[in-house]
Amino acid sequence: MQWNLDQLSAFVAVCEHGSFSAAARDLHRAQSAVSQAVALLEEDLGVRLFERSGGRMPQLTEAGKALHEEARAVLQQCQRLQGRANGLQRGEEARLRLAQDEAMPYQPVLASLEALVHAFPLLEVQLASGAQGDVARKLVERRADLGLLFHHEQMPEALERQRLGTIEMVTVCGAGHPLARVPYADRRTLAQHRQLLMTPQDSHYSGGEQISPLVWRADSFYAMAELVMRDLGWAWLPRHVASYPTYQGHLLELRSDWTPPPLVVELVCRRDEALGPAARWLGDALARHLGSEG
């Protein structure tokens, strides 16, 4: 392979400007230099790219039409390569791995990621979702750079956290559950029915207080919602989970004398690793969007 990027640039410029003279003006080069670059490219590729008969505007041959998009794609990839190298030279990350609790409100996260694309268009992003405990575990094992999770007391010592906002909790039961017919469910009434709680017992999640002697536990708010929807117990759930379209008409919000305080959303990272500019930028965006959500 003897052809080079200078020849590809000349070829693509002629294709897109319609003439050698216009391509030369765009490239700030002599027309003869552009013509020679295209001629050398044809020689290196072994195909004729343009018909140049009778002083007419150059017309792409069938081979030229087939190779035009390929050449442009090569040049675009080179631009991406140079942009990535420039970013790395400035200290930007090549990749950002975000792990989040699966019950995190998705609109604030998506809004933050959409904004991230415009601020760091060449950044590779890996998004992972998991149940309780998975997010912190990924950070500890260095399989994530940033974590979004709900506050609980059992946080590994290697991690540090920043409060971003809060999520409202609601008391719910299934539409066919006996509590659905109760106009007001006080603690004594709730205690007469199976309660669904997050695991483990020592996580100290908001809404982790056991008030019923009969308890089932799950590691996911969505798993709890599925159990509630099947009238297997009542639970405290984040409002956005209880309002998920799949559960409309199947979950009922109860009036009660006590509802847990809001869930606290936290941004978590490793204490021994400095965040790059993209991670810091995303953290600020998540703080804005999740803060307004709460």
> What are the pLDDT digits (tens) for 88-135?
665 668 889 999 988 898 889 999 999 999 999 888 999 999 876 788
Q: Helix 5-17 vs helix 20-27: angle between axes, to the nearest 10 degrees? A: 120
Q: Closest Cα to residue 112, out of 164, 169, 160, 152?
A: 164
What are the domain boundaries of the chain? Answer: 5-89, 95-165+264-293, 169-261
What pLDDT digit, counting tens, does each position of 69-92 carry? 888 888 888 876 776 666 566 566
What does the alpha-carbon distance between residue 143 and residue 273 come to, in Å, rounded to a whole number?
A: 13
Report the topology of domain 169-261.
D-Maltodextrin-Binding Protein; domain 2 (3.40.190)
The pTM of the full predicted model, rounded to 2 decimals, is 0.62
Q: What is the Cα–Cα distance from 85 to 74, expressed in whole angstroms?
A: 17
Tokens standing for residue 76:
């675009």
pLDDT in tens, 189-233: 999 999 999 876 455 555 678 899 999 998 888 999 999 999 999
Answer for the pair 198, 227: CB distance below 8 angstroms, yes or no: no
DSSP state of 185: B
User: Fold match between 95-165+264-293 and 169-261?
Assistant: yes
Give the torsion through C-alpha atoms of 133, 279, 222, 174, to 10 deg.
120
Does the structural domain 5-89 have CATH classification 1.10.10.10? yes
Which CATH number describes the domain made up of 95-165+264-293?
3.40.190.10
Radius of gyration of the chain (CA): 30
What is the predicted pLDDT for the residue at 205?
58
Contacts for 292 with CB less than 8 Å, ≥ 6 apart? 108, 165
